[in-house]
Amino acid sequence: MPDKLRLNLGCGRDYRPGFTNIDVRPDVGADLVYDITSPLPFPDASAAEVVAQDILEHLTAAEQGRVLTEIHRLLIPGGELTVRIPNLDEIISRFAEDPDTRNLFLYGDTRPAGSWGVHKSGHSLHSFTALALKNGLQVKKITPLDTNWELVLTQTSPPRPHSILFINQTLGRGGAETFNTGLLSWLNRHGLKVKAWTTNSSFNRQLSDSGILACRIPLVIDLIGDWKGLIKGLVSFPLGVFYYLRLIFQNRRVDVILLTGYIEKIIVTPLAFLWHLPVVWVEFGPLSSVFAKFFGLPKFFYRAVSRLPDAVIYPSYHSLSANTAISQVSSSRSHVVPCAVVDPGGPKPKPEKHTVCCVSRLESGKGQDLLIQSWVDVIKKFPTAKLTIIGEGAQYLALKLQIKNLRLQSCVTLTGWVPDPRIYLARAQICVFPSLWPLEGFGLVALEAMAMSRPVVGFKYGPLSEIITPKTGILVASGDTRALAQAICSLLANSSLSSRLGQAGRRRFHKFFTFARVGPRYQDLFAQVLAQKFASRLISSL
């Protein structure tokens, strides 16, 4: 094998799915067939030139990224990659009157090639340039060739974010704040310098205790609460714009801005756009009930800026599908990344027999009233069973009265707020998550129960079916209190089944819902939006 290679990656004569011919020159006649989605059998910095013509569109976007990273490894300093990909805009324009030919160009032809002939992904010039940058290759020349683009690329350092600015207006601490604290803490420990600005002093202390530099926002602008809050919010809106303008200017060298609340998305996003700062939104739950307020004014503000964020992250496909049609956020910028909780680690205590726990804010729609109603049926079969409901909120007195009216005081306890609900989850045999809340976007309590090896019982509503499977818990028809009671009783009666579901839940938690799994996906998205910004500047300069 020569010291320096020129590799030609192309479909060649072999059409097996995922495989390509590698023509190694100047070794005339050396024609290898290899799966280019796997590491290529050549040493680092061994290729002076790589040609990949009519090949990348046959791979998925994830496969393309791996191939480009591998080519980056193979190229010598100053080496070049020449790529030819379909020019989708030209194809659509040229064959506007010939849709069958247009579709053939867009989707590939399976007649001679089998499944290898199928096009699995397509790119705009900008999206491919960004993908290449993210994987360490910079476009230095672009040439339109008939219905294709030909691009020449060289090695570069992949863009990696080093700092993040988190801005959040919140009136209290809940699941979103718990997740945000865990995520920011993880990012802070893994190379991203995090600075947080929030309105809530308790949340600020929580962030500071996690090692994050947290600062206080001195004003609250509420456009999605009640009418009184709306009027006050509109009056203070100009002051908020001025405040955030100064805040963004002072932090204009940050790599990425992360926004999770409504009002900062409305104000901060267009201000960040002025300084070409990448912005990532996290949209935890469905927006329909928010958009319906005040004759649609919140929807108007949201849609006015919804095309500006570089990426929008949803914690569940439920939230994504609920918001896609009404938010006007670009589908290409929408991503689903689940939430996570901190793994408590260590051995799990043995649960107390016939104990059930529910942790959630005491708000209308969270389902504690339905759980209490179902408990009437539970104690008929298990008179010694105990239910503990943990949380604070506006429904506390109503729930207390319901317990009294149903004469359940001896077996149902409302604890109010507690410092660490996981202590109660660890004692319980079952965790119940009965939420029918229309804004439910995930369900962190279900993750906390799974991390504790506890089975989860709840309703088939919203995002819970994306978290809980038949192997990790029991979900029943929404609002069916009889079925909820039966599910609880089936686990109270069978400790072996309860334990088996709990252990499976812990395995599922470790596979999908730890920060070790979720954190890198956020890092990857931050790198992607940074590459998108650089790609825009690069294309405009060529």
d(CA 73, CA 173): 46
Output the pTM of the full model.
0.90
Domain contains 435: yes
**Whether residue 12 has pLDDT greater than 60:** no
Q: What is the mean pLDDT of residues 129-157?
A: 94
Residues 142 and 171 in one domain: no
Question: How many CB atoms sit inside 10 A of residue 68's CB?
Answer: 24
Beta-carbon contacts of 162 under 8 Å, excluding residues fewer than 6 positions away, are 191, 192, 193, 255
Of residues 441, 78, 434, 98, the one with CA closest to residue 286: 441
Of residues 455, 465, 523, the one with CA closest to residue 183: 523
Question: How many CB atoms sit inside 10 A of residue 26's CB?
Answer: 9
Residues 39 and 143 in one domain: yes
**Whether residue 14 has pLDDT greater than 90:** no
Domain of 45 in residue numbering reads as: 5-155
pLDDT at 25: 53
Range 259-262, long-range pairs (CB < 8 A, 24+ positions): 259/166, 259/167, 259/168, 259/309, 260/166, 260/168, 260/176, 260/180, 260/284, 261/167, 261/168, 261/169, 261/170, 262/169, 262/223, 262/224, 262/290, 262/298, 262/302
**Whether residue 140 has pLDDT greater than 60:** yes
Angle at 476 between CA 475 and CA 479, to 5 degrees: 125
Reduced to 3 states (helix: H, G, I; strand: E, B; else coil), residue 393 is coil
Domain contains 222: yes
The structure tokens 């700062």 sit at 277
Domain contains 212: yes
Q: What is the mean pLDDT of residues 20-33?
A: 53
Which amino acid is present at 256? V
Give percent of the chain with pLDDT exceeding 90: 70
Model pLDDT for residues 320-370, shown as the tens digit of each residue: 999 998 999 999 999 999 999 998 877 777 889 999 999 988 989 999 999
Residues 418 and 299 in one domain: no
Domain of 477, CATH number, reads 3.40.50.2000
Q: Within its chain, how far is the Cα of 366 from the centroid?
A: 23
Residues 314 and 403 in one domain: no
Residues 378 and 402 in one domain: yes
Give percent of the chain with pLDDT exceeding 70: 92
Residues 176 and 135 in one domain: no
Domain contains 392: yes
Domain contains 194: yes
**Which of 122, 155, 188 is the last residue in one of the domains?**
155
Residues 64 and 169 in one domain: no
Residues 266 and 137 in one domain: no
d(CA 244, CA 167): 10
Identify whether the C-beta of residue 196 lies closer than 8 Å to the C-beta of residue 264. no
pLDDT at 376: 96
Residues 121 and 204 in one domain: no
Domain contains 349: no
Residues 328 and 426 in one domain: no
Which residue(s) pair with 9 in the sheet? 22, 52
Residue 33 has φ and ψ, to the nearest 5°, of -115, 125
Domain contains 217: yes
Per-residue DSSP letter, 313: E
Domain contains 346: no
Of residues 287, 288, 283, 250, the one with CA closest to residue 264: 283
pLDDT band at 15 (very low <50, low <70, confident <90, very high): very low
Domain of 68, CATH number, reads 3.40.50.150
pLDDT at 42: 85
pLDDT band at 24 (very low <50, low <70, confident <90, very high): low
Model pLDDT for residues 174-187, shown as the tens digit of each residue: 788 889 999 999 99
Of residues 387, 409, 407, 398, the one with CA closest to residue 364: 398
pLDDT band at 29 (very low <50, low <70, confident <90, very high): very low
Residues 150 and 184 in one domain: no
Residues 209 and 71 in one domain: no
**Which of 138, 155, 172 is the last residue in one of the domains?**
155
d(CA 480, CA 483): 5
The number of domains in the chain is 3
How would you list the strands of the sheet with 256-259, edge to edge?
213-216, 193-198, 163-168, 256-259, 279-282, 311-314, 334-336
Q: Within its chain, how far is the Cα of 415 from the centroid?
A: 33
**Which of 128, 155, 182 is the last residue in one of the domains?**
155
Reduced to 3 states (helix: H, G, I; strand: E, B; else coil), residue 277 is coil
**Whether residue 172 has pLDDT greater than 80:** no
